[in-house]
Amino acid sequence: MPTGPQPYSHDQRMARAREIAAKFRAYYGERLLASGLYGSVARGADGPHSDIEIHVVIEGNNIERCFEWSNGPWKAEVDVYSPDVILAKAAELDEFWPLTHGAYVYVQPIHDPEDIFAHARQVALAHTDQEINNLIREVIVGDIYECIGKLRNGILPGFSHIMPAYAVDTVRFGACLLGLAHRRIYSSSVAMFPESLQLSDRPSGYNHLCGMVMRGELSNPPRLLEAANAYWDGLETWAAPRGLPIHTDLDTLLSQSPRE
């Protein structure tokens, strides 16, 4: 019999989650303010080998601790926060926001009399259009531009081995860009690509490159480069009417930056 993750039903996983939450409630006593499931179990989308992920919120300040363990056939993670820390984490905004912040938006409370998780959800979604647009531009220039450069390097003799990884990265950042543009948080990392293809107003070329990655068609460097170049052209066209300048110069940046 293989070792490592073993199959369990959703009901079995939920029962184990409640047992774990009860142990933390007994451990922290009256200091425990809230506990709740996040991840695939919280969404009811867990598979037979999924792990258990729980937030626990306790009284105090600047508290952040992770309990992560494997009990042989199953695994669990419990993140313990004080209210200030979980709200600060929920408020963070970076290029992976569409992928990471489901942990604060899709929480299934086990115990939450003060609606801490509802507050965390509100904070996670409360970003201005300017903040989102600034970040989208950073994703294009700081991440996708670099990936395209690596893919163009990959066509050179002796560099083709780098192309599959950078093709995946290009689509991953592209999916994050679409999530930001639509303020969409994906249900999971495994669902990110197909869910991104359901969003409207995708840059030309994205569908084709994303499809190649999803199908594992990564062994033909010329085809990968052709698809990546088409996506970059489509991305430039997509960004222009949104007032997201991809190209600028240092003098402009310095003139827009406050002196320290």
* Enzyme catalytic residues: 146
Strand partners, 35: 56, 111
What's the CA gap between 202 and 260, in Å, rounded? 39
**CB 13: neighbour CB atoms within 10 A?**
21
Contact 230, 206 (CB under 8 A): no
CA nearest to 35, candidates 13, 20, 15: 20
**Site of tokens 């409360």:** 126
CA distance 203 to 225: 17
Residues 41 and 32: their CA atoms lie apart, in Å, by: 22
Q: Among all chains, which residue has been given the structure tokens 């294009």?
A: 140
